[in-house]
Amino acid sequence: MLSQEQILEKLKTSGALLQGHFKLPSGRHSLQLVECARILQYPWHAEELCGELASRFKDKQVGLVMGAAVGGIVVAFEIARQLNIPAVFTERVNGVMSLRRGFSIRSGQRILIAEDEVITGRSIREIIRLVEERGGIIVGITALLNRSKGEEGGMNYPFEALAELETKTYEPEECPLCKKNIPISRMGRRPI
């Protein structure tokens, strides 16, 4: 079992944990950014990290793993591969989390929700609503990284993350790097 320190070190050495001046999707600024895709691009890291998550749910009779596009797709797939069950993903359509591409949930189906990282918990809560509306049974929620500062408590389901990382964020007018006129890095998430 990997320790939190080992996981954070893997994020750093793979280039997934970045230092700089970043504008987050929320509009807030941060001195750190995590790009989980940078570690998940290496199949051996995806297999090891998602294997840790899969092992925590192997006795829960999970029938389907569900992630959110884009970040949760690889995590959901690899966990499902290791549990030998199907994986699907949700997408936002006109701002609403939706199932597309012929994916469906059966009433009573036992579902594990998987993400790369949880920051605000918004995507997870939207997936929960979608699963509950269709009669699915959520057996748990899992992520490689929890950056939510306790906001996952509003999910009301068992939650497992490999590591916790608290990243201080700032409103633009309070950002210490903005005050020093340090430009925002061009890296980071872009809408798809």
Does residue 83 carry a pLDDT above 90? yes
So what CATH class is 4-179?
Answer: alpha beta
pLDDT at 192: 40
Does residue 52 carry a pLDDT above 70? yes
Q: Hey, where are the domains in the chain?
A: 4-179
| Separation in Å, CA 27 to CA 6, 72, 79 | 30, 21, 31
Looking at the chain, the number of H-run helices and the number of E-run strands are 6, 9
pLDDT at 2: 87
152 compared with 16, residue with greater pLDDT: 16
pLDDT at 187: 59
pLDDT in tens, 102-156: 999 999 999 999 999 988 788 899 999 999 999 999 999 999 999 877 655 567 8
